[in-house]
Amino acid sequence: MARTLERISLLFPVWVSIFVGLALIEPSIFTWFSGILIPLGLAGIMLSMGLTLLPADFRRVLSFPLPVLLGVLFQYTIMPVLGYSIGLMLDMEPPLRAGLVLVASCPGGTASNVVAFLARANVALSVSMTAVSTLLSALATPAAVELLLRGSSIDVSFLGLLRSTLLVVVLPVLGGVLLNRFFGKTRLVHRAKPALPAVAVLLICLIVASVIGKDRGLLLESGWLILLATVLLHAGGFLLGYVFTRLILHFRRDVEGMARTISIEVGMQNSGLGVVLARAHFPHPAVALPAAVSSVVHSLIGSALSVLWRKVWPIHRVDEEDTVTSDGPPPG
């Protein structure tokens, strides 16, 4: 059963694509998942992430912090600047540009850990970067959005974004860590853990499909522009994350594994958080669309990269000797 649930979670790009396709054909299938259910769904995903984190994940950050710090730095500099620049370059309407900046300013998504696993990259490093960028998101995400949208026609509430990020991301992750620390060996938690990846996949698919279904008309009207913008955003994140890591950590024997891991982490965002923040703090419905489309785009690009890196350009054994490994991915 556990193996079946793991296979289901590893097919996340397939499931989210199917859900989006169904939402475009028959929106009413998913529009019921709205209102308070969306932030609750994201909180559930973050809680499941926290339940997979161990003290070793945090000790790893302290023992060799440079790759983690680099990944988090790239996450909150490369991606927001890319989002802002692409929005200007494509002359996007203010709501769509705000949505692109918003999703670009979100922390790394848990799906990046799944892609790192599939690509045979450094899963332990990926988990550590996701955890750190998520915990920092309460300040980093509102700050990046407020800075880049300052002076635009879109009003941004720094405190509102901070409060929402704390409630639906940071506190659930910390709650999951505490549950795992004190109750991780109880029968209930032990039995629930194998199902967490599949539950997380279902919840993010419902969140994305709900937005697509509710704003289907807006998406069909501007879909090509949103698709182009999100492809450029995530492709740029994957590329620049890889190149900059290779340049900065060139002295490490395991630089290729780290570069691939940081590339995946930078290129993939917590799109669910983008949807929640857009719905809660921006009145125009179009602001949530880039985050919804982003979820599909970064999953497909990440999956394609994982196949190339796993099958076509595998990491040589010398690059893996000093690389911390993990038995498998956390929830996707």
Full-model pTM: 0.87
- Are 296 and 226 in contact by the 8 Å Cβ rule? The answer is no
Tell whether 321 is covered by a domain.
no
Residue with tokens 């790893």: 60
* Predicted confidence pLDDT, tens digits, the chain (332 residues): 667 777 777 788 889 889 999 999 999 999 999 889 999 999 998 898 888 787 777 777 777 788 999 999 999 999 999 999 999 999 999 999 999 999 999 998 878 888 888 888 888 888 889 989 999 999 999 999 999 998 777 888 889 999 999 999 999 989 988 998 888 888 888 888 888 888 888 998 999 999 999 888 888 888 899 999 999 999 999 999 999 999 999 888 888 989 999 999 999 999 999 999 999 999 889 999 999 999 899 989 988 898 888 888 887 644 444 444 444 555 55
Tell whether 330 is covered by a domain.
no
Q: How many domains does the chain have?
A: 1
Q: Say what the pLDDT of residue 189 is.
A: 84
Tell whether 150 is covered by a domain.
yes
Tell whether 328 is covered by a domain.
no
Tell whether 252 is covered by a domain.
yes
Domain limits for position 15: 2-312
327: which DSSP letter?
Answer: S
Whole-angstrom Cα distance, residue 286 to residue 229? 14
Tell whether 331 is covered by a domain.
no
Whole-angstrom Cα distance, residue 121 to residue 326? 10
Whole-angstrom Cα distance, residue 283 to residue 272? 17
Whole-angstrom Cα distance, residue 238 to residue 116? 12
Tell whether 324 is covered by a domain.
no
Tell whether 105 is covered by a domain.
yes
Whole-angstrom Cα distance, residue 114 to residue 134? 16
325: which DSSP letter?
Answer: -
Q: Say what the pLDDT of residue 326 is.
A: 45
Q: Is 171 exposed, middle or buried (0-12, 13-18, 19+ CB in 10 A)?
A: middle
Nearest to 322 by CA among 131, 128, 124: 124
Instruction: Annotate 240-268 with b (16+ C-beta within 10 A) or e (fewer).
Output: bbbebbbebbeebebbbbbbbbbbbbbbb
CATH of the domain at 198: 1.20.1530.20
Residue-wise DSSP of 135-164? HHHHHHHHHHHHHHHTTSSS---HHHHHHH
Entry field: residues in the chain: 332
